[in-house]
Structure 1
Amino acid sequence: MTPHLLPKVPGALVEIVLSSVITMLFLQVQVVPIGSTYGVIPNTLPHFQIPEITLERIYILLGPAFVIALLGGIESLLFAVVADGMEEASIIVIGS
């Protein structure tokens, strides 16, 4: 299919459709529905409940919380270095 025939159709969409059709015709893969694997999916939201806070749970969550905070700090520092390296004064700082 040349770009002259279908100029508005994205190539990725054509590729997905063609690969799906080829897979259906030649490979004959059995599709397993989600319901047969995981059971019935509820059609309502779960009830809201506040989890029990224990020292063990705090100890388990302390490490991942520290890592997330550290990554956020590193990302902020990297952004500051990039912003500092920009030559033009077209940087708009919000909240300062």
Structure 2
Amino acid sequence: MVAELTDDKALPKAERKALQIASAPKTSARAALVKLGDKASNVRAIGRSQPVHWDAARSRAYVDWAEAVADALPWPLAEARAELARVVAQTRRRLG
């Protein structure tokens, strides 16, 4: 499961982010649940306190990307997806 959740830091950031979306459909149920929780936690943190070195556009781009990763996951995980959707909506309202 760790291998499913670990990015290859030798790759450029943009490629790592694209690979998370591309590889999401092959993710196991357990790893998908961890990934959804991680994305929800990160989006929630951005909504509560936008990183100092990020502008609103970068924050919104992260939220969009996190949602795209979640949407590509193969498992239903209805409760976790609903929580992420709630957090995404709340963060988007705060970011404007």
Interval containing the TM-score (normalised by the shorter chain): under 0.3
Larger radius of gyration: 1
User: Given the two structures, how large is their TM-score scaled by the length of structure 2?
Assistant: 0.27
- Relative to its length, the structure with more helix (as a share) is 2
> Of the two structures, which has the highest relative contact order with CA contacts closer than 8 Å and spacing of 6 or more?
2
User: Given the two structures, how large is their TM-score scaled by the length of structure 1?
Assistant: 0.27
